[in-house]
Structure 1
Amino acid sequence: MTEKREYRDDYDDKTLYIPGPTEVREDVIEAMTESTFGHRMDRMTDLYTTIVEDTKEFLGTDNDVVILTASGTEFWEASTLNLVDENILVPTCGSFSERHANVAERLGKNVDRLEYEWGDAVKPEDVREALESSDKHYDVVATVMNESSTGVRNPVEEIGDVVAEYPDTYFVVDAVSALGGDYVDIDAHDIDVLFASSQKAFAMPPGLAVCVVSEDAYDREVEKGTSSWYGGFRRTIDYYDRKGQTHSTPAIPIMLAYRKQMKHMLDEGHRARDERHREMMEYVHDWADEHFAMFPEEGYESQTVACIENTRDIDVAATIEQVSEEYDMAFSNGYGSQLGEATFRIGHMGEHTVESIEALTDAIEDVADL
């Protein structure tokens, strides 16, 4: 049985370079300290309509946006319940895409996996072949955009173009660790559902899930007749259209933080934010090529999370601990037993810059004697 470990008041602050949560601006944290107000007040309508419409503007989408108090995991479950009658095709190339498949199985759906080695990316032509050759009708193809366990960025744009050729199959994208730091044109590539979490590249506190929903996906749920209660598209979108609020009590302080940070994101702009993340990615890749090697398939590296192969056989756990103790910086080991010491990961997302990432790599060089 787990024993209680009392939370203290004397922890050292660590600069976060993990794959999320990431660093949050001071004024965004301060926004959470506003006085409490009721979630059915006009003030809540002002807050919620602001964050929803600002998110649409930032992402450049005409689709509906739903923001709920939840982890992004909510929309693994909700999108499956809302859209899938029987069959779902899930390309798997790492831990999180595999987990998406597991969620669908637990919900009683028939899941076909299109399996790749960890570190390899999903290929659009393989998705096409799977759709063409199967004797089943797939209600959904579900793909992770940014497989943060392996540092792979899947080509969801090209995959979306393939799925669009099958009008009765819907395309669902887990963009949890990428959205806000890696530009994607949702509408142009017929992505029906795309979801993310606030604590990753959005650089907000944890606690909110963001979901972009196409009109076709909404109509599909209506036609299907059964759906998720909490994350149902019709329930959340219709309530927003009627009331400008969420159907259930939200985490208002985090939405206040979201409002403040989304204004910063709009000021920077989606393309500029994408370019800043690309510069961080290029810096980390150059550094990794000099000292180690990148783990993902070449040409498919994540723009927000670097997964670096431990070619020098350093003690990853000990290095992480020493960097934390001596420099108050936190980065991550590989994900799970398969990659735990074989790789390590650097989250270069949110409000980080090349200069702040360089401070971490300098610390790693010092501790690991590179």
Structure 2
Amino acid sequence: MTEKREYKDDYPEKKLYIPGPTGVRDDVIEAMCEPMFGHRMDRMTDLYTTIVEDTKEFLGTENDVIILTGSGTEFWEASTLNLVDENILVPTCGSFSERHANVAERLGKDVDRLEYEWGQAIKPEDIREALESSDKHYDVVATVMNESSTGVRNPIEEIGDVVAEYPDTYFVVDAVSSLGGDYVDIDEHNVDVLFASSQKAFAMPPGLAICTVSQDAYDREVGKDSASWYGGFQRCIDYYDRKGQTHSTPAIPIMLAYRKQMKYMLEEGHQGRSERHREMAEYTREWAREHFGMFPEEGYESQTVSCIENTQDIDVAATIEQVSEQYDMVFSNGYGSALGEKTFRIGHMGEHDVESIKALTDAIEDVAGL
């Protein structure tokens, strides 16, 4: 049985280079300290309509935006319940795409996996082949944009273009670990549902799920006999249209932080923020190839999380611990037992820049004796 470990007040502050949560600006943290107010007051309408419309502006989408209290992975369940009657195609290339498939199975759906070796990227032509050759009709193709377990960035734009050729099949994208740090034109590439979490490339505190919903996806749910209650597209969007609020009590302090950070994001712009993340990713890859190797398939490397192959057989766990103790910086080991010591991961997302990433790689070099 797990024993209580009392939370203390003397933890050293660590700079985070993990695949989320990421560091948060001081004034964004401070924004959460406003006096509490009611979630049905006019003040809440001002707050919620601000963050929803600012998010639409930042993403450059005409689709509806839902912001709910919860993890972004809430929309694994919600999108499946809202859109899938029976059959769903889930390409799997790592832990999080596999979890998406597992969620759909737990919800009683007929799941077909298009399986890739970890480190390989999903290919649009394989999606086309699966859709054309199957004797089933797939209600949804569900794809992860950024597989943070392996550092793979899947070509969701090209995949979306393929799915667009099948108008009765909806395209759902898990962008939890990339949205806000890797530009995607949602409307141009037939993305019916795309969701993310506040604590990763958005550089906000954990606790909010962000989702974009196309008109076609909304209409699809309206025509179904059942859907998600908490994450139902119709329920969330209709309530927003009527009241400018969420249907259930939200985490108001985190939404205040979201409002503050989104102003910074609008100032930098979607393309500008993506460019900064691209520069960090390119630096990290160059450093990794000089000292180690990259785990993902070449040409499909993530723009927010680098998964680095431990070709020098360093003690990953010990290196992480020593960098934390000596430099107050935290990066991540490989994902799970399969990749734990074979790889390590650097999260270059949120408010980092090339100089702050270089500070980490210098620390790793020092501790590992590179």
Residue 224 of structure 1 and its aligned partner are, at CA, apart by: 1.2
Question: What does 1:69-218 correspond to in 2, within 5 Å?
Answer: 69-218=69-218
Deviations 1:56-112 (CA, angstroms, capped at 9, x unpaired): 000000000000000011000000000000000000000000000000000000000
**Other structure's SS at 2:90 match:** strand
What residue in structure 1 maps to residue 278 of structure 2? Answer: 278
- Partner amino acid, structure 1, of 2:104: A
Q: Which residue of 2 aligns with 1:358?
A: 358
The letter for the 2-side match of 1:126 is D
Q: Deviations over 1:267-319 (max 9, x none)?
A: 00111101000000000000001000000000000000000000000000000
Name the SS of the counterpart of 1:210 in structure 2. Answer: strand
SS at match of 2:307: strand
d(CA) in 2 for partners of 1:168 and 1:210?
24
2:242 counterpart residue number: 242
Q: Does residue 1:19 correspond to 2:23, yes or no? A: no
Structure-2 residue corresponding to 1:302: 302
Matched to 1:123, the amino acid is: K
Q: State how far apart, in whole Å, the 2-side matches of 1:362 and 1:348 are.
A: 15
Letter of the 2:367 partner, please give it: V
Q: Hey, what's the Cα distance between the residues in 1 that align with 2:106 and 2:119?
A: 26
Separation in 2 of the partners of 1:286 and 1:73?
32
Q: Secondary structure at the match of 1:142?
A: strand
Q: Distance in 2 between matches of 1:33 and 1:242?
A: 29
Q: C-alpha distance in 2, partners of 1:226/1:279? A: 45
Structure 2 Cα separation of the partners of residues 210 and 307 of structure 1: 25
Question: In the TM superposition, what whole-angstrom CA distance separates every residue of 1:90-143 from its partner, at most 9, and x where no partner exists?
Answer: 000000000000000000000000000000000000000000000000000000
Q: What is the alpha-carbon root mean square deviation over aligned residues? A: 0.3
Aligned partners of 1:69, 1:271: CA distance in 2, in Å? 27
Distance 2:346 2:30 in 1: 27
What letter matches 2:41 in structure 1?
M
Which amino acid is the alignment partner of residue 207 of structure 2?
A: G
In structure 1, C-alpha distance between the alignment counterparts of 2:148 and 2:367, rounded to whole Å: 25
How far 1:225 moved relative to its partner? 2.3
* 1:143-170 deviation digits (Å, cap 9, x = unpaired): 0000000000000000000000000000
Per-residue CA shift, 1:203-253, capped at 9, x if unaligned? 000000000000000000011121000000000000000000000000000
2:320 and 2:111 map into 1 onto residues whose CA distance is 37
Instruction: Please give the secondary structure, in 2, of the residue aligned with 1:224.
Output: coil
Give the Cα–Cα distance (whole angstroms) in 2 for the partners of residues 272 and 199 of structure 1.
Answer: 19
Is 2:313 aligned against 1:313? Answer: yes
Distance 1:344 1:277 in 2: 19
Q: Secondary structure at the residue paired with 1:307?
A: strand
| TM-score, normalised relative to structure 2 | 1.00
Q: Could you tell me how far apart the structure 2 residues matched to 1:225 and 1:266 are?
A: 39
Local SS of the residue matching 1:32: helix
Which AA in structure 2 matches 1:137? H
Q: In structure 2, what residue type is equivalent to 1:310?
A: N
Distance 1:225 1:277 in 2: 42
Q: Does 1:345 align with 2:342?
A: no
Structure 2: how far apart are the matches of 1:74 and 1:198? Answer: 13
Question: Could you tell me how far apart the structure 2 residues matched to 1:24 and 1:308 are?
Answer: 25
State the alpha-carbon separation in 2 of the partners of residues 174 and 210 from structure 1: 11
Any gaps of 5 or more consecutive residues in structure 1?
none
Q: Which SS does the other structure have where 1:177 is aligned?
A: coil
Q: Structure 2 regions of 5+ residues with no counterpart?
A: none
Residue matched to 2:60: 60
